[in-house]
Amino acid sequence: MARQITLDQAEAIVSACKQEALAVGQPMNIAVVDDGGNLVAFAAMDDTKLIGVDIAQKKALTAVYFQMDTKDLVPLVQPGAALYGIEATTGGRLVVFPGGVLLRKADGTVAGGVGASAGTVDEDDQVARAGAAAFSG
Amino acid sequence: MARQITLDQAEAIVSACKQEALAVGQPMNIAVVDDGGNLVAFAAMDDTKLIGVDIAQKKALTAVYFQMDTKDLVPLVQPGAALYGIEATTGGRLVVFPGGVLLRKADGTVAGGVGASAGTVDEDDQVARAGAAAFSG
Amino acid sequence: MARQITLDQAEAIVSACKQEALAVGQPMNIAVVDDGGNLVAFAAMDDTKLIGVDIAQKKALTAVYFQMDTKDLVPLVQPGAALYGIEATTGGRLVVFPGGVLLRKADGTVAGGVGASAGTVDEDDQVARAGAAAFSG
Amino acid sequence: MARQITLDQAEAIVSACKQEALAVGQPMNIAVVDDGGNLVAFAAMDDTKLIGVDIAQKKALTAVYFQMDTKDLVPLVQPGAALYGIEATTGGRLVVFPGGVLLRKADGTVAGGVGASAGTVDEDDQVARAGAAAFSG
């Protein structure tokens, strides 16, 4: 397995997410997956919500599966849009709202994804984005 | 397991739900889960509907997972809204319509959730709410 | 749905199980299902183990599905025996060790099942049996 | 959610596991769950095996569900033994071999569980145990 992200890098991403979540004032669940969609690092902050344990991981996974941020899936999955209904596919593993961000290496290669969950979708997206900004693979 | 709700408290909630369901005239399925989302007490009233066995439990679980009543999820999951599509996530364990109510202790700590199912969503919500009103953790 | 057991009867069974569990000194998870295998009543005693939430229900279900106590399944599922491997069937819903007891009405009709879980299998069986003894449908 | 373990404590456990895994020479997947079985912290070490992502989490969960180390389940689940067949129950969420260790607070309360996976079961158990030793809740 030639993982495109190290545990050290994943933990640095989680750490940056935690800092941003503290700034936002909303304890989060934070997940980093590799380019195969497999979990590398996870942290549930104290006093977060249980819903995010699962969804943070699935946001990160979805970003990798689509090679795009989950925020950009939103218009595509609405009634009448091209991917309407896709969230019901793949055994309930996809998340189609903001908070999952794709991680790319400097050369453009997909390195993995980061997901955050427990706040509003805008807060989640902001926290995941702060994690991605801390990555330079 | 340091559960934030006792079986006695859970059974008192179920009992209050049953009384309200009798008043409403619709036999219900009633579930109480703890703050980890695990089932503590359940009752299926005579002549209720089987659909509610599963859904009452998932309503209670959803309230705990989101730390909010499931009624308040309704506007958030509509097409175009922030959490559109979320019910397809988390392995079909979430319910995004009324009837699940969060239980909080006097100090604000999440103690668990109560869910009711078999009637209209308004009836379910009314019954779950009557159960929550009987709780003072 | 012509359920062969009422909620009152199911709750009396749960109550008898609770008393026996207190006598045994092991807080239990206790479930009663109807003759269709659907949950009618459930109680998780304070300080029980989470493993039993699911397994108590599945013990009761298994008793109904096989129309026999789960204790009597034990010799049948061993390597080389007639039903070897059956526990892997039906999506993991079956339990093949003691603690699930079939409930029959006075006329022999199957009324449902009761399951107990959290102690040794002998304790579980003893508690479920005490519940069944309290039933005269 | 009144979690019995903090993220700081969970991360200290993961850190101790990582050190032990380095000493053993086998990169591991390491998971810490709370007393409700919900994931708190996870780390997949570089060059570990993918099988352990899932199994490390389930080992930690199993320890909490049974309130015992998964190592102690081994004799109980063999053909002819009391819990034979249990691993097929509960939707495939249980692990019945070594590598999951229960975490208890100083007062005996269950705080959660730690699981390690990727090496031999003895290596996994050794690594999980090193994590548990670093916990004093």
Enter the ipTM.
0.95
To the nearest whole angstrom, how far is the Cα of D36 from the nearest Cα of chain B?
5
Percent of chain B with pLDDT over 70: 99
Q: What is the mean predicted confidence (pLDDT) over B66-75?
A: 96
* Residues A46, D6: C-beta atoms closer than 8 Å: yes
Q: Which amino acid is at B63?
A: A
Chain D positions touching B35 (Cβ under 8 A) are 1-2, 36
Query: How far is it, in rounded angstroms, from Cα D32 to Cα D26?
Result: 19
Identify the residue whose tokens are 């009557």: B130
Q: Which of A3, A7, A14, A58 to probe by mutation at the D interface, max D CB count within 10 Å?
A: A7
* Residue A118: closest C-alpha in chain B: B66
Query: How far is it, in rounded angstroms, from Cα A75 to Cα A96?
Result: 9
Query: How far is it, in rounded angstroms, from Cα D25 to Cα A24?
Result: 40
Q: What is the mean predicted confidence (pLDDT) over D53-61?
A: 97
Q: Do chains C and A touch (3 or more CB pairs under 8 A)?
A: no
CA distances for C119 relative to A78, B78, C53, C126, D82, angstroms = 50, 45, 12, 10, 11
| Sign, CA torsion B36/B37/B42/B45 | positive
Query: What is the residue-level pLDDT of chain A in tens, covering all 137 positions?
Result: 589 999 999 999 999 999 999 999 999 999 999 999 999 999 999 999 999 999 999 999 999 999 999 999 999 999 999 999 888 877 788 999 999 999 999 999 999 999 999 999 999 999 999 999 999 87
Query: Which pLDDT score, from 0 to 100, does residue B1 have?
Result: 53
pLDDT in tens, D88-120: 887 778 999 999 999 999 999 999 999 999 999
Q: Tell me if C59 sits within 8 A of C99, measured CB to CB.
A: yes
Query: How far is it, in rounded angstroms, from Cα A25 to Cα D1?
Result: 17
Contacts of A17 (CB under 8 A, 6+ apart): A28, A30, A43, A114, A116, A127, A128, A130, A131
Q: Which amino acid is at B109?
A: T
Give the confidence band of D1 by pLDDT, cuts at 50, 70, 90.
low
Query: How far is it, in rounded angstroms, from Cα C101 to Cα C124?
Result: 10
Q: Which residues of B touch D (CB under 8 A)?
A: 1-2, 4, 34-38, 109-110
